[in-house]
Amino acid sequence: MPASFETGHRPDATGASPLTDAAWLDKNAKQGSLIGLRVLDLSRVLAGPLCAQMLSDHGADVIKIEAPQGDETRLLGPPFVEPGQAAYFSAINRGKRGLSLDLSKPTDRAILEALLVNADVLIENFVPGTMAKWGLGYDDYLSKTFPKLIYCSISGFGDTGPLANLPGYDAVLQAMCGLMSINGDPRAGPTRIGAPVVDQVTGYNAFSGIMMALWARIRTGQGQRVEATLFDSALSMLIPHAANWMNSGNTPALTGSAHPNIPTYNRFEVGDGQIFLGIVNEGQFKKFCKHIQREDLLSNPLFDSNANRMTNREALRHEMEVALKGFNRAELCKDLMALGVAAGPVHTVPEAFQQPHTATRNMFIQRDDYQGVGLPIKLSKTPGSAGVRPPRLGEHNSDIIR
């Protein structure tokens, strides 16, 4: 156990922690900056499990504790990796051990409390008030009984305010917090962002909060409650749309793939498909116009500044796409990137993972027991690694309870 974690673990007579099954850990040896950290993951669906998986990827010993019916993402298929385990579940639960408990029963709550003696972090995403109903509330009980514990609560709306204690899901929060209102084409109307971005950002916020709480514990010797909500996370994502509205009074509108402030930051048609251009300054615009042999755009008073290009963005788009029809998307993007002009083909998901750069960055894990997305956070001296396949429901009950 690294001393920096300032934990209060008490080894048993053999010198091994009661929380860890030595045989399992030896067989599935981890690496990373969080080796020695013990995490109880009571969460389900996406944000909480993703946070716990990130901790596991970087070395933490994570026990996923599920109700007898299991995390509902186990059934959100097809596709299924195996019976009872959807691919969805496998994306956010690798590297964990599996324990099934019914926390409505005193005997199973006693098992959880025994595990808490040696735990650093507990993550839960029950409707606020659920843990207190079971006699496991943070303020009234856990903070007093386990003062070093980092208790991470993830919920839709938190436990304060008019919407407190209500259930929340990603797309509902996208709608409520304005994200859908800025995503989509005007002809189609507000559109859900295809990836569950609110859940994912909430998971990252929870991860960051846990790391900050662990750092604070080094100084204070005390744990604390970390709260991450979908509502707060969704509002925090409105950059720059919230600032634009706050300072102009104008309600942000649907712009498709376009940027609200930069007309050349958009998706464009080329000869064999679509590309996205990231032209954000005058130097890049000049290089782009020269490369597509449309330097006349630079001297046109309609397009000679970002403000003028914004005013005349549809006319500019027409001129650009006429010129781009003669280009191949792969070659054009390669040439523009070499010039310092950001550009990328609009790839499908398979195309994204078939890029050579994906393999170089170790972002596509392909093993006999598991396939998944790689680690987005890379440390030079204490690198993490993708853990073993996700556990089956209650797979490690006998080892952990023993």
| Catalytic residue positions, numbered | 199
Nearest to 61 by CA among 370, 375, 374, 391: 391
Backbone angles phi, psi at 98, to 5 degrees: -110, 130
Query: CA 128, CA 230: separation in Å to the nearest integer?
Result: 13
CA 218 to chain centre: 26
**Residue pointed to by tokens 């300054």:** 281
Give every CB contact of residue 76 below 8 A, 6+ residues apart in sequence.
86, 88, 89
Question: What is d(CA 20, CA 105) in angstroms, rounded to the nearest whole number?
Answer: 24
Q: How far is CA 17 from the centre of its chain?
A: 31
Q: Which of 152, 127, 279 is nearest to 224 (CA)?
A: 152
Which pair of tokens denotes residue 149? Answer: 């514990």
For residue 20, the tally of other CB atoms under 10 A from its CB is 20
Distance in angstroms (rounded) separating the CA atoms of residues 54 and 60: 9
Q: Residue 225 and residue 151: Cα distance in Å, rounded? A: 5
Owner of token pair 């929380």: 19
Query: What would the two tokens of residue 234 be?
Result: 């969704």
324 vs 82, 288, 313, CA distance in Å?
A: 46, 11, 16
Token pair, residue 66, equals: 């599920």
> What are the C-alpha distances in Å from 391 to residues 10, 33, 70, 98?
27, 23, 11, 5
Give strand ranges (E) for 174-287. 225-229, 265-270, 273-278
Query: Phi, psi at residue 311, to the nearest 5°?
Result: -65, -35
